[in-house]
Structure 1
Amino acid sequence: MKNAANRYLWFRPESRNIWFRMAVPREVQGRVGRKPILCSLGTADRRQALILAGKKRAELFEEWGLMPKAKEAAPVIDPASLGVRIGFDDMIAAMEERRKAWPADDAEYAVRLAEREATLRRLTRRLHDGDLSEWEAVADRAIAGRELPFEKGSEAYAALVQALAEGSIDAVGTFTRRHGGELNAEPQSTVVQEAKAKEAAKAKPGETIMELFERWASEVLDKGDKRADTVNQDRKVIQQFAAFVGVDRDMRSIKPDEVFEYRETLRALPPKWTTKRELRGLHMRTAASKARELDLPKTAFTTVNKHLSTISPLYRWLRGQPKWSGLGNPCDGLFYAKVKGKNARPPFSTAMLNQILTSPLFTGFLSDDREHVAGNMRADDWRKWIPLVAMFTGARIGEIAQLRIGDVNRQHGVWFVHIRHEEGEGLTTKSGKSRFAAVHSMLGRIGFLDFHARRLKAAGGDLSAPLFPELEPNARGQISGTPSRWWRDYLSAIGVKDGADGYGAHSFRHTLADRLRDEADLLDDKIAVVLGHSIKTTTSGYGTVPQGTVPMFKAWMEAVRFEGVDFTHLIADADALKVV
């Protein structure tokens, strides 16, 4: 597996540690100099060095202003606003231009004005009668001439036609009132008034939604409140929202009804809608309309709430600045309530566990990349051991994938796995704290400790070497990417998983929670400690020693019997390897 950070590693002959080496990009050599960037990464562990090298490169590129900006979402063409521009603005301008050629005679002038009034009555009658053919013809010409993404019969097309109709009627009405004596006549229709209000609500330079987001993002990164990867994901959400309401909108002008419309539009779209063949290249409203027509799956309520949870903090941050004090938050009250869903990560049943453990990965498979097909090959790497360790410890897949050989150790004669959070070494846990997980006796019987011994021997006794050396961080710096995706695919291939049913590596964690309740008789506060959930209490902030001792965890874990699960063949395989 290739990794871009490889080329920045320098195994300096006279140093025990791996170094970072990078040529200065040509575009900044004038202010930085041409001398290569050299520094020790403070580790001899190649995998750890890869992570640190990637972070170092990102820091330098950020410092030099070379970080690539996420691709901006294509601006949304609001059919109502477009209809107003064509139906009201263009029509008013055209009528004013033609008026200049009207006769100077007052009587003739009155005749021409009466003709406009007759036109107003005719258009109004057609609209009331539901005859939109005249405006549909205008819409068709506009769509063809401007290559607009509005399909005939869609909601966006209907909104364009309706705005053309109401806008043109309002244009004629405003024109006749202005030239009939009401000198300051203004548009009266709601669609025109709303479009005009949006047009007037342009942000000042430096205060567009994305510009304010970048200021906020810089602050949270400096404080360490968020990781760069999280900010990049937030940026995608804000870009989509800005494109929906208008990239140049003043934040003050965005109202709750617009956020509500964004929420409902997003809900109507399928997950990762921009990658769907049927919706690729369409704007958000148009895509939502087509998704409804095609009856495509909808975005989960929880995902919609995550979008609102990304937009809302930007408003809270602005409200804390004097210039923006009193700013309302249009997201307030729009979060979907009670939408955690019915067990989004369901546990494996006993039957499922037996189906998994008797599948080709654990009994013999055909070849690499065809692990779901029966054969004579056996795995003795992350493919086999990450799911088994997850099953017996409840650890997350990324926490297991990052383990070093030395993280499997003994204390008071009890084997344990040290799940570490040490960002300087590229090791992280979701809670931000290290913890211990006792090695269940069955995990030992099926060969995990023997596997650990084989890895220690292969690494020449280097305790800092990775337990699963085949795994490397992905482009987002996540070592869990490959095993997580691979395991979901494998479960689908053997018939345990069906689409987006929630089953995956995290199901082992939920399975263990149920077993701890049912077989070990533990209450949730103890289960939370076993699983490494972050418990916020005054005492939890005292000291640095993790909660719970290894012997305590061992007693709890041994009470979990995994009733009904057959490990016979795995024990036999482990015993056979010992003989060899």
Structure 2
Amino acid sequence: MQEHVAKLDALRGTTKDADRRTAINAEFHRVDGMLDKMLPQLMAFKTEESGLNTEYMLLLQDVRALSLSRQHQEAIAEQASTHKAEKHALADFVSTIVSRAPASESNSVPSIPSLSATIEDFVRFKRAQGRWTAKTEAENRAVYELFKLIVGDKPLVEIDDDGIVSYLETLKKLPPNINKAPAYVGKSIDEIIALAPETTMAARTINKNVERVSSLFKWAMGKKKYGVTRNPAAGMSVDESGAAKRQPFTNSELAALLRSEEFATREFENPYAYWLIPMGLLTGARLGELCQLYLSDFVDHNGVPCIDVTDEKEGQRLKNANSKRLVPVHSKLIDLGLLQYVDGLRKAGAKRLFPELNERRDGFAQAASNWFQRHKRKCGIDGKHTKVFHSFRHTFISALLDDEVPEHSVAQIVGHESNLITGKVYWNAKDAAKRKPTVEKYQPHEDVWRLIPKFEQVRIVPRRGPR
């Protein structure tokens, strides 16, 4: 290239202008041709240089990333080391605190109550509600104690379907009155079963036990404290179709009850020994309902004398809501002198129909119930469970139904639940005249009724000394 420039300078000194211009143009053409040939090479070099620069920049980026990654890894490692050291320090601190704390504070997680504790909670709840009498509480406690002996004193939530089935199977092998019979006192469940009792628990008793266990589960369900979410005892029962059921008295049995020494001599230890049999027969009322009557429960509605069966006074209890009712007084009870007897007590300042009956754990009926058991045995009436005072109620109801009295009409008199909507309402005073014919429908056989003297013909001779 320098050679060509020198030639151009030499040409500028030539005197002949035309020749000089020609020579200069020729030289420029030569130079342009050379530049044209060099241009692709220059462009290729430029491109290579640009590629080198790009690769260099990418390399720098990779180096920076590797550097940052290493720094990041070092930071993480440092943090992990610090966390590990802090974790060990915290564990040592907690261990020191726990070792110094009392045993009761070392375990703050509450445990699920045992069966015994759950039973006590349930009993306390029932007491607070006022739903249980002392007798009811004792009966339930006996059931739950037997349940605990069979399944173990474990939390209720640990008793499943298999546990309830085993409980049911065990009950079927046990004798009745397991807590009362001297032969079984102090023996385990397995030892009692090994004795092979001749008489085992009645189906009805077994089902009552299971029902009470089911009530315990039902109460505990949904309460977080006990962890119970279902009731494995619900719907569990044994077949009662072959079990002995209460039966009405036959006319011959009624006659036997009324031919006793008391009715023959017309001397009775107390008024209830005279009145309870005819009242039970002609009202269909339960023994407890009769024994707890107050004189104020004898009312008059539009000329119709009635007995107000209620639970509104001190010591009175009813089986259920349907038991509250008005019972028109049967004309035969009036003939015996019941209303005159009531008036006489009122004049004497008494408050109850049978003031000689004291309230006990079972209510007012315990002494009367014991009296009737002795009375029927003395009269030769068999059937410990089938022929009881409640059989008077069965006699009254069966006679009315056999006489084609509508069931809902009978329900109003005896306090059964009626399928009719109107049967669920406590009927008012104007219904007394309508219900009176229902009561009068039952007429005892004349051979039976003539054995009962009027009250004015009898004497009350209290018994002295032990029975």
C-alpha contact 2:253 2:381 (8 A) present in aligned 1:
yes
- Per-residue displacement from partner, 1:386-413 (whole Å, max 9, x unpaired)? 1211111011111111112232233222
Q: d(CA) in 2 for partners of 1:326 and 1:407?
A: 46
Alignment match, 1:28 = none
Map 1:54-69 → 2, pairs under 5 A: none
Runs (5+) with no aligned partner, structure 1: 1-202, 365-375
Counterpart residue type for residue 528 of structure 1: A
Q: d(CA) in 2 for partners of 1:547 and 1:411?
A: 6
C-alpha contact 1:488 1:503 (8 A) present in aligned 2:
no
Map 1:316-335 → 2, pairs under 5 A: 316-322=218-224, 327-332=229-234, 334-335=236-237
Identify if the C-alpha distance between structure 1 residues 299 and 219 changes in structure 2 by more than 3 Å, giving closer, same or farther. Answer: same
Alignment match, 1:312 = 214
How far is the alpha carbon of 1:425 from its aligned partner? 2.2
Q: d(CA) in 2 for partners of 1:378 and 1:331?
A: 49
Alignment match, 1:410 = 300
Say which SS state the counterpart of residue 415 (structure 1) adopts.
Answer: strand
Alignment match, 1:107 = none
Say which SS state the counterpart of residue 566 (structure 1) adopts.
Answer: helix
Is structure 2 residue 343 aligned with structure 1 residue 426?
no
Q: d(CA) in 2 for partners of 1:485 and 1:538?
A: 38
Is structure 2 residue 464 aligned with structure 1 residue 558?
no
- Bigger mean CA offset, 322-331 vs 482-491: 322-331
How far is the alpha carbon of 1:332 from its aligned partner? 4.5
C-alpha contact 1:266 1:299 (8 A) present in aligned 2:
yes
Q: d(CA) in 2 for partners of 1:492 and 1:548?
A: 43
- Per-residue displacement from partner, 1:302-340 (whole Å, max 9, x unpaired)? 111111111123223333134656744332564214x16
Is structure 2 residue 403 aligned with structure 1 residue 502?
no
Say which SS state the counterpart of residue 444 (structure 2) adopts.
Answer: coil
Alignment match, 1:452 = 342
Is structure 2 residue 285 aligned with structure 1 residue 395?
yes
Alignment match, 2:254 = 353
Counterpart residue type for residue 263 of structure 1: L
Say which SS state the counterpart of residue 299 (structure 2) adopts.
Answer: strand
Identify if the C-alpha distance between structure 1 residues 478 and 223 changes in structure 2 by more than 3 Å, giving closer, same or farther. Answer: closer
Say which SS state the counterpart of residue 490 (structure 1) adopts.
Answer: helix
- Pick one of 462, 471, 492 that aligns with 2:357: 471
Alignment match, 1:216 = 122
Alignment match, 2:52 = none
How far is the alpha carbon of 1:383 from its aligned partner? 0.9
Counterpart residue type for residue 486 of structure 1: W
Q: d(CA) in 1 for partners of 2:128 and 2:270?
A: 42
Q: d(CA) in 2 for partners of 1:228 and 1:574?
A: 35
How far is the alpha carbon of 1:470 from its aligned partner? 0.7
C-alpha contact 2:150 2:170 (8 A) present in aligned 1:
no
Map 1:233-272 → 2, pairs under 5 A: 233-247=139-153, 249-272=154-177
How far is the alpha carbon of 1:236 from its aligned partner? 2.1
Q: Considering fraction of residues, name the structure with more helix.
A: 2
C-alpha contact 1:265 1:285 (8 A) present in aligned 2:
no
C-alpha contact 1:445 1:574 (8 A) present in aligned 2:
no
Q: d(CA) in 1 for partners of 2:274 and 2:375?
A: 11
Q: d(CA) in 1 for partners of 2:429 and 2:134?
A: 29
Q: d(CA) in 1 for partners of 2:456 and 2:235?
A: 60
Alignment match, 2:328 = 438
Counterpart residue type for residue 276 of structure 1: A
- Bigger mean CA offset, 392-401 vs 303-312: 303-312
Say which SS state the counterpart of residue 268 (structure 1) adopts.
Answer: coil
Say which SS state the counterpart of residue 326 (structure 2) adopts.
Answer: strand
How far is the alpha carbon of 1:431 from its aligned partner? 2.2
How far is the alpha carbon of 1:245 from its aligned partner? 2.0
- Pick one of 336, 361, 374 that aligns with 2:238: 336
Q: d(CA) in 2 for partners of 1:315 and 1:516?
A: 41
Alignment match, 1:282 = 187
Q: d(CA) in 2 for partners of 1:211 and 1:477?
A: 26
C-alpha contact 2:112 2:227 (8 A) present in aligned 1:
no
Counterpart residue type for residue 320 of structure 1: G
- Pick one of 203, 210, 218 that aligns with 1:301: 203
Is structure 2 residue 434 aligned with structure 1 residue 533?
no
Alignment match, 2:94 = none
Identify if the C-alpha distance between structure 1 residues 378 and 322 changes in structure 2 by more than 3 Å, giving closer, same or farther. Answer: closer
- Pick one of 480, 485, 488 that aligns with 2:365: 480
Q: d(CA) in 1 for partners of 2:424 and 2:331?
A: 32
How far is the alpha carbon of 1:508 from its aligned partner? 0.4
C-alpha contact 1:388 1:443 (8 A) present in aligned 2:
yes
Say which SS state the counterpart of residue 274 (structure 1) adopts.
Answer: coil
Identify if the C-alpha distance between structure 1 residues 325 and 205 changes in structure 2 by more than 3 Å, giving closer, same or farther. Answer: closer
Counterpart residue type for residue 319 of structure 2: K
Q: d(CA) in 1 for partners of 2:234 and 2:295?
A: 49
How far is the alpha carbon of 1:530 from its aligned partner? 0.9
Say which SS state the counterpart of residue 243 (structure 1) adopts.
Answer: helix
Q: d(CA) in 1 for partners of 2:152 and 2:455?
A: 62
Map 1:33-112 → 2, pairs under 5 A: none
Normalised by the size of structure 1, how large is the TM-score? 0.55
- Per-residue displacement from partner, 1:103-140 (whole Å, max 9, x unpaired)? xxxxxxxxxxxxxxxxxxxxxxxxxxxxxxxxxxxxxx
Identify if the C-alpha distance between structure 1 residues 473 and 335 changes in structure 2 by more than 3 Å, giving closer, same or farther. Answer: same
Q: d(CA) in 2 for partners of 1:547 and 1:205?
A: 58
C-alpha contact 1:398 1:479 (8 A) present in aligned 2:
yes
Q: d(CA) in 2 for partners of 1:229 and 1:477?
A: 6
C-alpha contact 1:350 1:564 (8 A) present in aligned 2:
no
Identify if the C-alpha distance between structure 1 residues 225 and 410 changes in structure 2 by more than 3 Å, giving closer, same or farther. Answer: closer
C-alpha contact 1:391 1:512 (8 A) present in aligned 2:
yes
Identify if the C-alpha distance between structure 1 residues 445 and 327 changes in structure 2 by more than 3 Å, giving closer, same or farther. Answer: same
What is the root-mean-square deviation of aligned Cα atoms in Å?
2.9
Q: d(CA) in 1 for partners of 2:110 and 2:149?
A: 17
Say which SS state the counterpart of residue 442 (structure 2) adopts.
Answer: coil
Counterpart residue type for residue 397 of structure 2: A
Identify if the C-alpha distance between structure 1 residues 330 and 469 changes in structure 2 by more than 3 Å, giving closer, same or farther. Answer: same
Identify if the C-alpha distance between structure 1 residues 448 and 380 changes in structure 2 by more than 3 Å, giving closer, same or farther. Answer: farther
Identify if the C-alpha distance between structure 1 residues 487 and 240 changes in structure 2 by more than 3 Å, giving closer, same or farther. Answer: same
- Per-residue displacement from partner, 1:534-558 (whole Å, max 9, x unpaired)? 447766666x655982222211111
Say which SS state the counterpart of residue 211 (structure 2) adopts.
Answer: helix
Identify if the C-alpha distance between structure 1 residues 344 and 219 changes in structure 2 by more than 3 Å, giving closer, same or farther. Answer: same
- Bigger mean CA offset, 222-231 vs 425-434: 222-231
Counterpart residue type for residue 278 of structure 2: L
Say which SS state the counterpart of residue 275 (structure 1) adopts.
Answer: coil
Normalised by the size of structure 2, how large is the TM-score? 0.67
Alignment match, 2:8 = none
Alignment match, 2:397 = 513
